[in-house]
Amino acid sequence: MLRDAGPLTRQQLQALLGLSRATLVERLDTLHRLRMVRTVGHDASSGGRRAQLLEADRTSRVAVVAWLGASHLSVGVVDLAGTVLVDHTERLPLGHTPADVQPWLVDTAREQLSATGRAGDLAAVGLAVPGQIDQETGISITPPTMPAWRDQPLRDALADGLGVEVLLENDANALAYGEYLAAGSRQSTVLGVAVGTGIGAGVVIGGRPHRGATGCAGEIGHIRIEGHDERCTCGRRGCVAALASGKALIRQLRDEGVRSLPDVVRRVESGAPQAVAMATDAGRLVGTVLATVVTILNPHLVRVGGEIGALAPFRAGLAETLTEQSHEVAARGLDVGPAVLGERAPLVGMAGLAAEAVFAPEAVDRLAARS
């Protein structure tokens, strides 16, 4: 209640929650002791003896957040308000393995915690990865672009390394959730699209990431485009990822000397005609797929991120077909734009999910029982 509606006085809280005074006092004592609630001045309107105002303390604890992709790893320390205290992105070679990357992730997180002086405040770790996640076992079912990470026990490895609860989320869901938080509305339905080496989408409905029955919701990269038969990394043909992903653009621009995702970005940003045309076409194809998604979900916002998604010609192509082909009423007033948080969107999304987990009543009970 304090996170949603604070700051509030004790009296206002009691009225909103319908708790007895004794129960409320006991719970607030616990929350004060755990540094999860703090006093922020007095309520001027109450007259007489002015009542203290309370708010959720989102800055006393921190989380380590990370975003692993087919060609990069970002690691940062955030507070539970979503402020990024420090972050760092490392480019990774395609085909990287957990044996190479996991120790580096843990070491970098420890260095960042000690550099920010917040090692003692660590409350959770959040990792965003492409593909599906088995939330029961904490194992990722990564896409074909990351074969060495398939069936890796990510949650246990990080919990061993950093000693706190570990949350795993699909990276496009994390992007969508970050953008949902940045939009500042608790009603929004948000579609987040990440186009990097691969293509994924994440959905926030009613303020929660929508994972679907088996964690597969939003895996738009393997929707088939009629009339195409390029082979995809998933083993099938004609997937939009085989035609319009970063990986596809690298292949299509090979004759121009392009060998990597940063090469694609440089060619497009420098205005090379072939690269700009290819990026625009890729955007149009992704827009065609998104038109169907938009018609089904009728979102308030569509936010496009990832290294390819950030390119202006790609986004122009995407907006063109998306507007043309989605249902007229769904398209009307639809806000389509770049991820306002840029490359940090998945990290901020993981910060938000970490805050949800740390402030959950059961988590507070567990913490109170231990301390």
Contact positions vs Zn ion (CB under 5 A): 222, 232, 234, 239
Nearer to Zn ion, 205 or 234 (CB): 234
Phi, psi of 280 (to 5 degrees): -65, -45
Nearer to Zn ion, 58 or 222 (CB): 222
Nearer to Zn ion, 161 or 198 (CB): 198
Helices 361-370/21-33 angle, 10° precision: 70
Nearer to Zn ion, 234 or 312 (CB): 234
CB of 231 to Zn ion, least distance (A): 9
Strand runs labelled E in the chain: 8-9, 37-42, 52-56, 62-68, 72-79, 84-91, 122-129, 132-134, 139-141, 165-170, 190-195, 199-205, 208-209, 301-305, 335-338
Token pair 């990287």 in the structure block, residue: 96
Closest Cα partner for 355 from 55, 43, 81?
Answer: 81
CB of 239 to Zn ion, least distance (A): 3
**Separation between Cα atoms, residue 246 and residue 265, nearest integer Å:** 9
CB of 215 to Zn ion, least distance (A): 17
Nearer to Zn ion, 192 or 221 (CB): 221
Q: Given its phi and psi angles, is residue 18 left (phi above 0), alpha (psi -120 to 50 degrees) or beta?
A: left
CB of 236 to Zn ion, least distance (A): 5
**Separation between Cα atoms, residue 285 and residue 249, nearest integer Å:** 13
CB of 221 to Zn ion, least distance (A): 6
Closest Cα partner for 279 from 246, 230, 254, 322?
Answer: 246
CB of 224 to Zn ion, least distance (A): 8
Nearer to Zn ion, 82 or 221 (CB): 221
CB of 145 to Zn ion, least distance (A): 11
Please give the torsion angle defined by the CA atoms of residues 356, 361, 367 and 371, in that order, rounded to the nearest 10 degrees. Answer: 140
Nearer to Zn ion, 53 or 199 (CB): 199
**HSE value, Cβ hemisphere, 13 Å, CA-based, for 25:** 3
